[in-house]
């Protein structure tokens, strides 16, 4: 039955997430934005400890049947706190997602068990290259078989948490490389490269518009050797190979990125609402649209756009939980949320005037943070392309 | 618990109504628009779906189906997907039936509902909208004064569907003008009441198949027993939400019709060596349209589901309606754009959908879930 009411168990859990966002993230939000590349170790230690304490909220598990939906809900709460800090939290991240999607059960155990304890750790995913981003089938990084090793050569950029995964923790990076360039997509395979593997170095860490608490690394791989069993899945070059698996991980991660956007958008919206309340500026719901002020129209539009994005996101996550294919709906959620929140946060700065533009408050930061959600994990345009292919029944060859 | 699943009954209703809309309504839509008249056999067939009688209680001759706002939204979307004028006409009797079922006294239910259970299409309607650019249901200019036991209604209404043929009209008027929505009352007014005047049929840009009228009330006296809900009155805020959800759902139907037509056209129409659907400029417009259609529907369903939980859902239904009104217009406009010159020609239905879609931001109170 159609229902949009969260069960009390979820609400209680989310309240705790919200409290962490408010108490642990907001107070340090500005500091790690103004001081890019400074590492928020106290926050990381606290998150790592909390997620390994059986009594703490972040280890409290929602019903398994709602795993993806709950991830979106909690992500919204934490990104309401700070999207950059959220992305920097030590966890298996996208590297872990790739292992889960493409790895054997033996590989899952070997690569992921490190996240159960010890010191904070990160894992990252490296797909994008200087010469290719959205067109990930054009990857030029190569993996060549040499005896019992794969030898990887190439350059990767825009690797989220790359620095933490490669140099600052006992983590790993899943590097996508081609074993056969003539095979196109089918030749692209994921390789787990452990931290501090000789030949893999962090060339630089980017300076960014927003989400500055999260490191974005450029990695160089020069004759970087990894054991054969670090290839996730099968080495065989078939169309059903590893590249399809990574595309499938997007079906799960795109609703999460949409939820990140929604968290940032809600932060801006809440700020504007509070500001209006303090200044006795009414938002009169229900009256004739022809009697609304420009400010009321703007605010109501921001609010309903955010809600529309949230409903699309919930649907995409709910479908995944229900075992349904959600490729189309995940891209709809991502495309809607990415753009809606970009516009909502920009409008928030405008509505607040000097207060919005000032670095004294966080609104201008949220506008900068929001923008990434319309770019990474598939740009707006890539998601529109996916949606269009699905509604026309076209292949990527027919519409590109 | 969050769920996007229709229940079995809703799936069945959707299937049945969708088939009717595609097979019976859509083929008639253009001639309905051009002639301004809906064939009576089409309405008779629509009656067989039990659109009105289904929700009437068994003791007045109905099927006693539970009234569920989400189901109502599904029905409204599917019918409007066929044709908006036909949908509004076929569902108009609900404008009287539903408020009486939900807010009426036992006596009022026993009096006003049985005629609606008769065979064939029984005309009934309600008058909410007023001819003002900034019409606001919480600030109605039509008033009802309590004078020596009766109520006296004064004011002007517009967009009253089927008013000329309806034996009774449910009229909304401000009883206590300073109380906003809470001050609005409903009166079941016989059409032949002295002081009630129905002007000629309205001529509008769209909704051309739906006969709507301006109705004026000049010292129109109505007995107190005709006041919806009796002495206790009724919850107009909830009825208004139900109406906004219905209009939002119909906007989804119109938008979906336009989106699908433009999508199929883009796959057929060739330019520069291939279907225009293979051009990003066109493909991205359609992708956006697909997102908007789904977003509109989810917002309408969300408001509907809160109504089903007993909430007034005033904010949600206002959001859903305003969003849907804007999105339906934009989707229909894009559909015309994608068809280009062909979209502007009356041979294709998209220009009609653009005219119909424009109504959602203008009208209020033409349907109810």
B44 neighbors B121 (Cβ within 8 angstroms): yes
Look at residue A239 in the predicted model and tell me its pLDDT. 66
Give the domain range for residue B53.
Answer: 8-117
Does a structural domain hold residue B280?
yes
pLDDT, tens digit, for every residue of A107-158? 999 999 999 999 999 999 999 999 988 887 789 999 999 999 999 999 999 9
Assess A41–B contact: CB distance below 8 Å, yes or no: no
Does a structural domain hold residue B268?
yes
What is the pTM (predicted TM-score) of this model?
0.96
Look at residue B367 in the predicted model and tell me its pLDDT. 97
Interface of B with A in 179-218 (CB under 8 A): 181
B177 neighbors B145 (Cβ within 8 angstroms): no
Pair (B224, B131) in one structural domain? yes
Pair (B226, B199) in one structural domain? yes
Structure tokens at B311: 């909430």
Cβ separation of A319 and B290 shorter than 8 Å? no
CA end-to-end span of chain B: 23
- Give Cα separations from A259 to A126, A154, A209 (angstroms): 22, 33, 20
Look at residue A240 in the predicted model and tell me its pLDDT. 62
A380 neighbors A339 (Cβ within 8 angstroms): yes
pLDDT, tens digit, for every residue of B62-116? 999 999 999 999 999 999 999 999 999 999 999 999 999 999 999 999 999 999 9
Q: Longest C-alpha distance within chain B, in Å?
A: 78
| The one catalytic residue among A77, A296, A364, A377 | A377
What's the complex ipTM? 0.96
For the residues of A105-153, what is the DSSP string, one character each? HHHHHHHHGGGGSSS---EEEE--BTTBSS-GGG---EEEEETTEEEEE
Sign of CA pseudo-dihedral B30, B36, B37, B38? positive
- Give Cα separations from A160 to A124, A131, A214, A216 (angstroms): 6, 18, 7, 5
Pair (B182, B249) in one structural domain? no
Nearest to B46 by CA among B67, B77, B23: B23
A280 neighbors A270 (Cβ within 8 angstroms): no
3-state secondary structure of A178: strand
User: What angle do the packed helices B84-91 and B40-48 form, to 10 degrees?
Assistant: 60
Distance of CA B33 to the CA centre of its chain: 17
Pair (B109, B203) in one structural domain? no
Look at residue A235 in the predicted model and tell me its pLDDT. 80
pLDDT, tens digit, for every residue of B247-295? 999 999 999 999 999 999 999 999 999 999 999 999 999 999 999 999 9
Cβ pairs bridging A and B (under 8 Å): 132
Structure tokens at B361: 């931001």
Q: Are strands A123-126 and A172-178 parallel, antiparallel or unpaired?
A: parallel
Look at residue A238 in the predicted model and tell me its pLDDT. 74
Does a structural domain hold residue B267?
yes
Pair (B247, B356) in one structural domain? yes
Assess A308–B contact: CB distance below 8 Å, yes or no: yes
Q: What is the arithmetic mean of pLDDT over A259-285?
A: 97
Does a structural domain hold residue B13?
yes
Does a structural domain hold residue B24?
yes
Assess B267–A contact: CB distance below 8 Å, yes or no: yes
Is A377 among the residues known to form the active site?
yes
Question: Which residues on chain B are in Cβ contact (under 8 Å) with A385?
Answer: 280, 283-284, 287
CA atoms of A158 and A362, how far apart (whole Å): 25
Among residues B203, B232, B261, the one where a domain terminates is B232
Pair (B209, B274) in one structural domain? no
Pair (B226, B242) in one structural domain? no
Pair (B218, B278) in one structural domain? no
CA atoms of A97 and A254, how far apart (whole Å): 12
| Residue percentage of chain B with pLDDT more than 70 | 100
Cβ separation of A384 and B284 shorter than 8 Å? yes
Does a structural domain hold residue B65?
yes
Query: Does A299 score more than 70 pLDDT?
Result: yes
Q: Are strands B212-223 and A149-160 parallel, antiparallel or unpaired?
A: unpaired
pLDDT, tens digit, for every residue of A237-261? 876 656 776 677 889 999 999 999 9
CA atoms of B313 and A327, how far apart (whole Å): 32
Question: Taking all residues of chain B, what is their mean pLDDT, rounded to a whole number?
Answer: 97
* Residue located via tokens 């629509």: B46
Who contacts B158 (Cβ-Cβ below 8 Å, separation ≥6)?
Answer: B129, B130, B131, B202, B212, B213, B214, B215
Instruction: Give the CATH number for residue B79.
Output: 1.10.540.10
Look at residue A390 in the predicted model and tell me its pLDDT. 97
Instruction: Give the CATH number for residue B275.
Output: 1.20.140.10
CA atoms of A264 and A370, how far apart (whole Å): 6
CA atoms of A161 and B112, how far apart (whole Å): 69
CA atoms of B245 and B311, how far apart (whole Å): 13
CA atoms of A249 and A261, how far apart (whole Å): 19
3-state secondary structure of A390: helix
Domains of chain A: 8-91 (1.10.540.10), 99-238 (2.40.110.10), 243-392 (1.20.140.10)
Report residue A101's pLDDT band, with 50, 70 and 90 as the boundaries. Answer: confident
Does a structural domain hold residue B369?
no
Q: How many domains are contained in chain B?
A: 3
Report residue A291's pLDDT band, with 50, 70 and 90 as the boundaries. Answer: very high
Look at residue A233 in the predicted model and tell me its pLDDT. 84
Chain A nearest C-alpha distance from B95 (Å): 20
Cβ separation of B286 and A3 shorter than 8 Å? no
Pair (B61, B44) in one structural domain? yes
Look at residue A60 in the predicted model and tell me its pLDDT. 58
Q: Which helix (H) or strand (E) holds A176?
A: strand A172-178
Among residues B208, B232, B256, the one where a domain terminates is B232
Does a structural domain hold residue B368?
no
CA atoms of A209 and A365, how far apart (whole Å): 9
CA atoms of B185 and B187, how far apart (whole Å): 7
Interface of A with B in 163-202 (CB under 8 A): none
Within 10 A of B237 (CB to CB), how many other CB atoms are there?
19
Among residues B117, B138, B165, the one where a domain terminates is B117
pLDDT, tens digit, for every residue of B293-333? 999 999 999 999 999 999 999 999 999 999 999 999 999 99
Look at residue A58 in the predicted model and tell me its pLDDT. 54
Interface of B with A in 294-333 (CB under 8 A): 294-295, 298-299, 301-302, 304-306, 309, 314-315, 318-319, 322-323
Pair (B225, B323) in one structural domain? no
| Residue percentage of chain A with pLDDT more than 70 | 96
Q: What is the arithmetic mean of pLDDT over A224-247?
A: 81
Report residue A186's pLDDT band, with 50, 70 and 90 as the boundaries. Answer: confident
Pair (B83, B158) in one structural domain? no
Assess A66–B contact: CB distance below 8 Å, yes or no: yes
Pair (B241, B336) in one structural domain? yes
By CA distance, what is B283's nearest residue in A?
A388
Residues composing chain B:
369
């Amino acid at each position: 039955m159609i229902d949009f009411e969260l069960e009390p168990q979820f609400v209680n859990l989310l309240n705790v997430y919200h409290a962490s966002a408010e108490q642990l993230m907001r107070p340090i939000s500005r500091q790690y934005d103004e001081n890019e590349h400074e590492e928020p170790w106290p926050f990381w230690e606290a998150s790592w400890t909390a997620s390994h304490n059986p009594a703490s909220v972040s280890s409290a598990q929602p019903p398994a049947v709602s795993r993806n939906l709950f991830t979106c809900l909690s992500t919204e709460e934490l990104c309401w706190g700070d999207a950059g800090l959220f992305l920097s939290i030590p966890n298996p991240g996208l590297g872990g997602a790739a292992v889960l999607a493409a790895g054997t059960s033996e590989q899952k155990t070997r690569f992921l068990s490190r996240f159960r304890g010890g010191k904070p750790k990160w894992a990252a995913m490296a797909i994008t290259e200087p010469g290719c981003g959205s067109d990930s089938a054009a990857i030029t990084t190569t993996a060549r078989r040499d005896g019992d090793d794969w030898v990887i050569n190439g350059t990767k950029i825009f690797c989220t948490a790359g620095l933490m995964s490669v140099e600052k923790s006992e983590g790993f990076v899943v590097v996508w490389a081609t074993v056969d360039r003539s095979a196109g997509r089918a030749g692209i395979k994921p390789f787990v490269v452990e931290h501090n593997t000789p030949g893999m170095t962090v060339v630089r860490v980017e300076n960014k518009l927003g989400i500055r608490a999260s490191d974005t690394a450029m990695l160089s791989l020069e004759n970087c050797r990894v054991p054969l069993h670090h290839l996730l899945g099968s080495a065989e070059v078939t169309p059903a190979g590893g590249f399809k698996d990574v595309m499938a991980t997007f079906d799960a991660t795109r609703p999460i990125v949409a939820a990140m956007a929604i968290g940032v958008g809600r932060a801006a919206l809440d700020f504007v609402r509070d500001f209006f309340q303090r200044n006795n500026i009414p938002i009169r719901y229900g009256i004739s649209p022809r009697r609304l002020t420009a400010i009321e129209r703007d605010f109501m539009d921001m609010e309903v756009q955010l809600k529309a994005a949230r409903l699309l996101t919930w649907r995409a996550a709910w479908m995944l939980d229900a075992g349904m294919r959600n490729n189309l709906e995940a891209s709809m959620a991502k495309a809607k949320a990415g753009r809606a929140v970009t516009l909502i946060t920009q409008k928030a700065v405008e509505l607040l005037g000097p207060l919005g533009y000032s670095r004294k408050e966080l609104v201008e930061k949220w506008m900068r943070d929001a923008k990434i959600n319309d770019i990474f994990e598939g740009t707006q345009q890539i998601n529109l392309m996916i949606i269009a292919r699905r509604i026309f029944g076209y292949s990527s060859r027919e519409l590109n | 618990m969050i769920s996007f699943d229709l229940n079995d009954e809703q799936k069945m209703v959707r299937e049945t109504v969708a088939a009717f809309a595609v097979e019976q309504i859509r083929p008639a839509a253009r001639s309905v628009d051009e002639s301004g008249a809906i064939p009576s056999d089409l309405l008779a067939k629509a009656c067989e779906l039990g659109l009105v009688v289904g929700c009437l209680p068994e003791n007045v001759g109905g099927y006693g189906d539970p009234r569920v706002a989400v189901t109502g939204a599904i029905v409204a979307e599917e019918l409007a997907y066929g044709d908006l004028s036909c949908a509004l006409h076929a569902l108009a009797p609900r404008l009287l039936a539903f408020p009486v079922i939900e807010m009426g006294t036992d006596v009022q239910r026993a009096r006003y509902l049985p005629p609606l259970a008769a065979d064939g299409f029984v005309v009934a309607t309600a008058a909410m909208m007023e001819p003002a650019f900034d019409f606001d249901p919480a600030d109605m200019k039509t008033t009802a004064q309590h004078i020596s036991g009766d109520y006296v209604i004064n004011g002007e209404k517009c967009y009253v569907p089927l008013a000329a043929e309806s034996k009774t009209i449910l009229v909304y008027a401000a009883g206590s003008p300073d109380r906003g929505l809470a001050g609005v009352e409903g009166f079941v007014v016989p059409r032949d009441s002295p002081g009630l005047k129905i002007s000629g049929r309205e001529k509008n840009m769209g909704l051309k198949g739906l006969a709507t009228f301006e109705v004026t009330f000049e010292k129109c006296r109505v007995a107190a027993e005709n006041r919806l809900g009796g002495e206790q009155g009724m919850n107009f805020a909830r009825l208004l939400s139900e109406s906004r959800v219905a209009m939002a759902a119909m906007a989804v139907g119109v938008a979906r019709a336009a989106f699908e037509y433009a999508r199929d056209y883009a796959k057929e129409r060739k330019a520069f060596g291939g279907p225009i659907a293979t051009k990003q400029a066109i493909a991205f417009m359609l992708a956006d349209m697909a997102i908007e259609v789904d977003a509109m529907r989810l917002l309408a369903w969300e408001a509907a589901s809160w109504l089903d939980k007993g909430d007034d859902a005033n904010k949600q239904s206002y959001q859903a309606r305003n969003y849907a009104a804007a999105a339906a217009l934009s989707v229909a406009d894009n559909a015309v754009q994608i068809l280009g010159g062909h979209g502007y020609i009356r041979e294709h239905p998209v220009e009609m959908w653009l005219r119909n879609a424009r109504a959602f931001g203008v009208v209020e109170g033409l349907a109810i879930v």
